[in-house]
Amino acid sequence: MRGAVLCFLLCAAQAAAAPQELAVYFVDVEGGQATLIVTPRGESLLVDAGWPGFEARDARRIQAAARHAGLRRIDYLLMTHYHLDHVGGIEPLLDYVPVRFFVDHGENTETDKRAIELSESYRRALTRGRRLTVKPGDRIPLRDVEVLVVSARGELVARPLPGAGASNPHCEGVSRRDDDLTENARSVGFLLRYGKFRFLNLADLTWNKELDLVCPVNRIGTADVYLVNHHGLNLSNAPPLVRAIQPRVAIMSNGAKKGGSPEVLRLLRSLPGLEDLWQLHLSLNAPREDNAPEDRIANPDASCQGHWILLKARADGSFAVTNGRTGQTKRYPAR
């Protein structure tokens, strides 16, 4: 009996001493977004739900990631903006995975026929959970991690975040573009902090809003991992933003023929502090040499199998990225 007790105490002590990890699954939804965040205590935040149709392809891929993470439900589903590749998959998803809370920026700001259809679909989904509407400065209430909203409905966080606020020299000479009146510019974006680890996800935020976030003062600071805005399109990823956040790793949620603009790929690869670029797909919109190396691409074929990229981070700032296709993992030590 004493031996069994000692064994139990030893196992408990080892479990308590084991490093606690944050997991982030970048699910392949063919050029949309579905990013599943799982805290060390098993709470979950799904950012967008990909496309509808395709025989519930995206819903099933999200369910597979959730099962891999040991989840039976999603605690929070953040709907970043009302576009088909982000909100369209929510109703199909609910047939596979229940959701407790839906998080959004409020009502749709677009009014065309497709926008109305998406709004109606989202309202139906809301009957199956509770709603939480956020604005810049709000926090999504997950334990263990801080998820701070920095953009929502076209508004931006008003004051620099702790540790941010430096003048941004990369703003000089960069021009603004015509204002984007679509839902992209209304995207809910956030900075996630887990101890010393920082992850930035601004969804499909576009050029002028990016400039407003970091020019003339960088209000968001730096990030270890950057989910490349807007699937790597050149409508977004203004150089003053990308250079100011100084990512160690960039991860691109692109499709074979969506996103992955040559200009953005070259910008990322030119960053002096970038250790690696990872892509969900090989971009056929850019020359092969502008893409990441093949071992950093989850789906190198246009007709892909839907492999994900998995990030695991520790509170000391160290993290690892795994290619779901090959199982290969690269570790990035704490700084």
The answer to whether residue 8 sits within a structural domain is no
Res 11 pLDDT > 90: no
The total number of structural domains that make up the chain: 1
The answer as to whether 9 is a domain residue is: no
Q: Is residue 26 part of a domain?
A: yes
* Residue 251 pLDDT > 70: yes
Q: Say if 145 falls within a structural domain.
A: yes
pLDDT of residue 305: 86
- Tell me if 61 is assigned to some domain: yes
> Whose structure tokens read 């063919």?
30
pTM for the whole structure: 0.94
Q: Which tokens hold the place of 324?
A: 């779901």
161 is a domain residue: yes
Distance CA 156, CA 188 (A): 9
**Residue 310 · residue 285 · CB < 8 Å:** no
List, in sequence order, the alpha helices (H) in the chain. 2-17, 57-68, 84-87, 90-94, 113-126, 207-214, 239-245, 262-270
pLDDT interval class at 14 (50, 70, 90)? very low
Tens-digit pLDDT profile for residues 197-238: 999 999 999 999 999 999 999 999 999 999 999 999 999 999
Question: Percent of the chain, pLDDT > 70?
Answer: 94
> Mean pLDDT in the chain?
94
Between β-strands 99-104 and 74-78, what pairing exists: parallel, antiparallel or unpaired?
Answer: parallel
Classify residue 3: in a domain, yes or no.
no
* Closest residue by Cα to residue 89 from 60, 112, 128, 114: 60
Mean per-residue pLDDT for 100-113?
98
DSSP 75: E
Tokens coding 159: 């004051």
Strand partners, 101: 76, 130
pLDDT grade for 18, boundaries at 50, 70 and 90: low
CA distance between the termini of the chain: 45
Q: What is the CATH number of the domain that holds 301?
A: 3.60.15.10
**Whether pLDDT at 248 is above 90:** yes
Look-up of token digits 């004493």: 2
Q: What is the pLDDT of residue 2?
A: 55
Q: Determine how β-strand 74-78 pairs with β-strand 35-38.
A: unpaired
Q: Residue 23's beta-bridge partner residues?
A: 38, 312
Whole-number Å distance between alpha carbons of 79 and 133: 10
Domain residue limits at 210: 20-332
Residue 96 burial class via C-beta count within 10 angstroms: exposed 0-12, middle 13-18, buried 19 and up:
middle
Least confident of 14-18, 89-93, 145-149: 14-18
The rounded distance, in Å, linking the Cα atoms of 141 and 147 is 8
